[in-house]
Amino acid sequence: MNIKPADRIANFKPYFFASLNQKIAALKAKKMDVIRIDMGSPDLPPADFIIETLVDSARRPDTHGYTPNGGTPSFKQAVATYYQQRFGVEVDAGREVLGLIGSKEGLFNLSQILINPGDVALVPDPGYPVYSASGLIAGAEIYTLPILSENHYLPDLDLIPEDIARRARILWLNYPNNPTGAVATLDFFKTAIAFAHRYDVVIAHDAPYVDVCFDDYVAPSILQIPGAKEVTVEFNSLSKAYNMAGWRLGMAAGNDQIIKYLGTYKSQVDTFHFAPVIEAGVKALTGDQTWLKGRNQIYQERRDIVVNGLRAAGFSLETPPAAIYVWARLPGGQVDSMAFCERLLDETGVSTTPGVVYGKFGEGYLRISLGTATDRIKEAMDRLVAWTQKG
């Protein structure tokens, strides 16, 4: 029997990192020492008190059962407490907060609850691929918003044609940004909120890096802007904020109608988390936050190693003030990022991410992740510099 996929996924290719993982496995089988600075996966563990909460909870006999869809009351209240303490923003734990199995599923589900075939999704380019993929699966027309270095990697909303703006249902934003490491000001968020009100567009702000900041920079929440909750839902994840990647614990906060729709959709798709993971998340959100400063200092040291190494290798780039990525233009006028990164991997064992993975305006760039041990990042930069100087 010839089984064909549904039309809505027929043209999708495997996620880039799935293919990359296969190639790296083959190289390692040949005894190549591969240094991975490609995926945005933190290598450091959470604080001990978070792990201890998980372990202690898992040992209790009353924590091994299903938990409420969309989050326990204690988890939702922890999110509300976090927003109040971190941003000075009040969100109603019962109506304006939803627990997620990692923020990625929330991002994907948002398109499914808001988009009808033919609606427009406004998507930054370069940007996290799920923004476009989720819209395409829902039947959206994707209208890309170039985010370019000359505009500090912010979309120019004034350039969106009137007819496109009026058909748009979602405007995707992501600051601190993946892949560029760029940040947004409160003034930009005010402009975006005004745009959303003018055209009845929902803003989806993907904000998993707000707690990974350098050089005394403190990232804001878009929900700090008056009127934001009328048109906005903000997604966050404990993966990057608290080194809990793989724990799959995230949240959405903002407009109560959107939160309700997401909760209804999720009730047909999944259940929530293992209770000990939830309790550890509550502790992460409401417990001691001072350890994050030391964690960010480690990332900052790695960032500086990467920035200096890339410049020595002939790349041009800006020093990112936040997130766990460095975004750099290829040296010597090269523009084929896929070919460049493939040669780099084959010839040096250093694995980076081609910029084109994040959209056509990412072509000519590569992204480096800081989620690798510092000594290995140093070694990767040494290899990269030697390789580019060799010509």
> Contact 203/197 with Cβ under 8 angstroms?
no
Segment 263-292 mean pLDDT: 96
- For residues 274 and 137, membership in a common domain is answered with yes
**Final residue of a structural domain among 286, 317, 340:** 286
Q: How many domains does the chain have?
A: 2
Q: Burial of 39 by CB count in 10 Å (0-12 exposed, 13-18 middle, 19+ buried)?
A: middle
Segment 14-19 mean pLDDT: 77
57 found inside a domain: no
- For residues 91 and 214, membership in a common domain is answered with yes
Give the amino acid at 13: K
Three-state SS letters, the chain: CCCCCCHHHCCCCCCHHHHHHHHHHHHHHCCCCCEECCCCCCCCCCCHHHHHHHHHHHCCHHHCCCCCCCCCHHHHHHHHHHHHHHHCCCCCCCCCEEEECCHHHHHHHHHHHHCCCCCEEEEEECCCHHHHHHHHHHCCEEEEEECCHHHCCCCCHHHCCHHHHHHEEEEEECCCCCCCCCCCCHHHHHHHHHHHHHHCCEEEEECCCCCCECCCCCCCCHHHCCCHHHCEEEEEEHHHHCCCCCCCCEEEEECHHHHHHHHHHHHCCCCCCCHHHHHHHHHHHHCCCCHHHHHHHHHHHHHHHHHHHHHHCCCEECCCCECCEEEEECHHHCCCHHHHHHHHHHHHCEECEEHHHHCHHHCCEEEEECCCCHHHHHHHHHHHHHHHHHC
The tally of CA atoms less than 13 A away on the side-chain side of residue 278 is 24
What does the alpha-carbon distance between residue 223 and residue 236 come to, in Å, rounded to a whole number? 12
| Residue 391: predicted pLDDT | 67
For 115, the token pair is 């988009």
Choose among 177, 153, 173: nearest CA to 323.
177
Q: List pLDDT tens digits, range 220-258.
A: 999 999 999 999 999 999 999 999 999 999 999 999 999
- For residues 189 and 307, membership in a common domain is answered with no
328 found inside a domain: yes
**Final residue of a structural domain among 286, 307, 334:** 286
Beta strand pairing call for 325-329 and 168-173:
unpaired
What does the alpha-carbon distance between residue 264 and residue 258 come to, in Å, rounded to a whole number? 10
Q: What is the CATH number of the domain that holds 160?
A: 3.40.640.10
53 found inside a domain: no
* The pLDDT of residue 16 is above 90: no
What does the alpha-carbon distance between residue 91 and residue 76 come to, in Å, rounded to a whole number? 10
- For residues 197 and 330, membership in a common domain is answered with no
For helices 374-390 and 337-348, what crossing angle results, to 10°?
Answer: 110
250 found inside a domain: yes
- For residues 221 and 251, membership in a common domain is answered with yes
- For residues 163 and 34, membership in a common domain is answered with no
Domain span at residue 118 reads 65-286
170 found inside a domain: yes
Average pLDDT, the chain: 96
Residue 192, Cα to own-chain centre: how many angstroms? 19
- For residues 269 and 184, membership in a common domain is answered with yes
| Residue 30: predicted pLDDT | 92
Q: List pLDDT tens digits, range 133-182.
A: 999 999 999 999 999 999 999 999 999 999 999 999 999 999 999 999 99
Choose among 334, 319, 321: nearest CA to 366.
334
187 found inside a domain: yes
- For residues 242 and 258, membership in a common domain is answered with yes
- For residues 374 and 242, membership in a common domain is answered with no
Q: List pLDDT tens digits, range 312-365.
A: 999 999 999 999 999 999 999 899 999 999 999 999 999 999 999 999 999 999
- For residues 206 and 251, membership in a common domain is answered with yes
| Residue 17: predicted pLDDT | 79
- For residues 93 and 75, membership in a common domain is answered with yes
58 found inside a domain: no
- For residues 355 and 262, membership in a common domain is answered with no
Q: Burial of 390 by CB count in 10 Å (0-12 exposed, 13-18 middle, 19+ buried)?
A: exposed
Residue 276, Cα to own-chain centre: how many angstroms? 24
51 found inside a domain: no
Choose among 172, 177, 85: nearest CA to 122.
172
Beta strand pairing call for 325-329 and 232-237:
unpaired
Q: List pLDDT tens digits, range 91-111.
A: 999 999 999 999 999 999 999
Choose among 368, 335, 35: nearest CA to 180.
368
**Final residue of a structural domain among 263, 286, 309:** 286
Residues facing 36 on adjacent strands: 351
What does the alpha-carbon distance between residue 131 and residue 124 come to, in Å, rounded to a whole number? 8
Q: List pLDDT tens digits, range 59-92.
A: 999 999 999 999 999 999 999 999 999 999 999 9
What does the alpha-carbon distance between residue 172 and residue 186 come to, in Å, rounded to a whole number? 16
